[in-house]
């Protein structure tokens, strides 16, 4: 464990909030860990960070949040999901991807309403806040209503309606998606916590002209472009049949691979695919639990890392995971690739934490997130290290990846605002949400084919 010099000017200065804790994992460039640490928060940003004695000598605050035996970490970033799909959690399990999608999910999705999407998104927001995720990306339908839920919950997110060539509840003809995206961008661009993204579904449900238009719009709006890619062998087979190219080569041929591109899954990728992705500086969102549950296979993450690809983590939707707990996702990522490669260094604990923080921040085009440092947004979480399962304190990164679960998070803060602390949500009325979700579950059951 190391400490670093306090980065504060001399003299006492005012800040809005001081947070103190036994440990602080900064995830800064040097991966500094500070013992007996404090963070000064002002105007939603980190004004100072370092040893508690130094910070308290230099800064005064109206409120101090003393977290004692806790470990502060940057808020986790979930780089792929479909928030409102929490309404399908546990509804139908243990099916292949295409059966699951076409027989169980799509028929209900075609009847979705804005209110159902809002409530499902709010449930996802509550789960993410509870389990230490402070920012996520989302691709679904009626994203306007997901944005309303994110705004109310106080989370950060990159959101975009899924771009499909087949009719959806939100649009009867594929062309109608463009004005929806335009209106979304007009409504939310400039929001401090919500950014538009351009989310094509996949090479099999988004034809080349729509992929190109989505990417070009993302470039004009300086937003990210994301899609599911190479999720299964079937996808590769169909892409070869339809376009004569594997999915990554298809995107490369269309000119859609760049640092703006966030490629989700990349399970069925070969050496040449990885070389194309690496050369373009595109990012991968690795969703190990979803890939396992849908029996899609396992992305070659060790080879991706060796090729220099920026790999981040995502949960995918709650119907195919079935959890949005990023601690669980980090654990799976760290363990699985050791088992597959027989190399204990395939994804070390530090790499797994990087995939949920700094790598994820870069992947979603929000590089100022993902680390705790002066001038960065005050998006942080606290793990309760007084939990017997997180003792002793040898290595907080190891505890976070191999031992912790989201239920051991005791505080979640976004932009300096506490959204959850010790069992209490600040922005979400849990009991009324649970009542509403019971109603949504009855609505879903009534629509099953």
Contacting positions for Zn ion (CB under 5 A): 316
> How far apart are CB 318 and Zn ion at their closest, in Å?
11
Q: Cβ closer to Zn ion: 20 or 137?
A: 137
> How far apart are CB 428 and Zn ion at their closest, in Å?
24
Cα 203 from chain centroid? Answer: 22
> How far apart are CB 109 and Zn ion at their closest, in Å?
13
Q: Cβ closer to Zn ion: 145 or 316?
A: 316
Q: Which residues pair with 135 in a beta bridge?
A: 77, 156
Q: Which residues pair with 46 in a beta bridge?
A: 41
Q: Cβ closer to Zn ion: 161 or 316?
A: 316
> How far apart are CB 405 and Zn ion at their closest, in Å?
23
CA dist 401 and 396 (Å) reads 9
Q: Cβ closer to Zn ion: 316 or 379?
A: 316
> How far apart are CB 419 and Zn ion at their closest, in Å?
25
Contact 395, 99 (CB under 8 A): no
Residue 325's alpha-carbon distances to 184, 317, 318, 322, in angstroms, are: 28, 11, 10, 9
> How far apart are CB 287 and Zn ion at their closest, in Å?
7
Q: Which residues pair with 77 in a beta bridge?
A: 135
Q: Cβ closer to Zn ion: 130 or 265?
A: 265
Nearest Cα to 364, choosing from 203, 194, 150, 153? 194
Q: Cβ closer to Zn ion: 80 or 260?
A: 80
Strand duo 33-42 + 45-51: pairing: antiparallel
HSE toward the beta carbon, residue 382, CA cutoff 13 A: 27
Using CB atoms, what's the residue nearest to Zn ion? 316
Residue with tokens 């990087």: 354
Give the dihedral sign, CA 83/86/89/93. Answer: negative
């Amino acid at each position: 464990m190391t400490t670093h010099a306090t980065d504060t000017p001399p003299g006492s200065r005012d800040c809005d909030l001081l947070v103190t804790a036994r440990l602080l994992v900064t995830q800064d460039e040097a991966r500094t860990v500070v013992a007996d640490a404090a963070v000064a928060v002002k105007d939603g940003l980190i004004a100072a960070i370092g040893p508690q004695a130094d910070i308290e000598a230099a800064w005064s605050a109206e409120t101090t949040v003393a977290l004692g035996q806790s470990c502060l970490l940057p808020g986790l970033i979930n780089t792929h999901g479909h928030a409102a799909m929490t309404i399908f959690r546990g509804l139908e399990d243990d099916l292949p991807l295409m059966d699951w999608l076409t027989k169980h999910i799509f028929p209900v999705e075609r009847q979705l309403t804005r209110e159902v999407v809002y409530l499902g998104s709010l449930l996802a927001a509550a789960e993410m806040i509870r389990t230490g995720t402070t920012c996520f990306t989302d691709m679904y339908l009626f994203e306007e209503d997901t944005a309303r839920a994110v705004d109310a919950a106080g989370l950060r997110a990159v959101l975009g309606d899924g771009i499909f060539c087949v009719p959806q509840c939100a649009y009867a003809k594929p062309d109608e998606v463009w004005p929806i995206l335009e209106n979304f961008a007009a409504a939310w661009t400039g929001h401090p916590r919500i950014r538009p993204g351009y989310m094509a579904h996949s090479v099999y449900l988004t034809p080349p002209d729509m992929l190109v238009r989505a990417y070009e719009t993302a470039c004009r709006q300086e937003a990210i472009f994301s899609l599911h890619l190479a999720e299964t062998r079937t996808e590769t087979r169909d892409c070869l049949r339809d376009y004569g190219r594997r999915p990554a080569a298809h995107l490369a041929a269309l000119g859609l691979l760049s640092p703006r591109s966030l490629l989700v899954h990349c399970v069925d990728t070969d050496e040449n695919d990885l070389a194309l992705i690496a050369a373009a500086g595109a990012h991968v969102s690795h969703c190990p639990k979803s890939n396992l549950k849908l029996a899609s296979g396992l992305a070659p993450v060790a080879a991706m890392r060796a090729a220099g690809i920026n790999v981040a983590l995502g949960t995918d939707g709650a119907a195919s995971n079935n959890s949005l707990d990023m601690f669980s996702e980090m654990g799976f990522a760290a363990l699985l690739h050791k088992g597959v490669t027989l190399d204990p260094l395939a994804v070390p604990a530090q790499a797994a934490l990087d995939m949920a923080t700094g790598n994820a921040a870069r992947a979603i085009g929000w590089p100022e997130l993902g680390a705790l440092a002066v001038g960065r947004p005050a998006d942080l979480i606290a793990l309760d290290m007084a939990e017997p399962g997180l003792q002793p304190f040898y290595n907080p990164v190891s505890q976070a990846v191999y031992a912790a679960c989201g239920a051991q998070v005791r505080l979640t803060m976004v932009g300096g605002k506490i959204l959850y602390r010790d069992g209490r949500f600040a922005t979400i009325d849990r009991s009324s949400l649970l009542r509403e979700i019971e109603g949504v579950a009855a609505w879903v059951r009534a629509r099953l084919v």
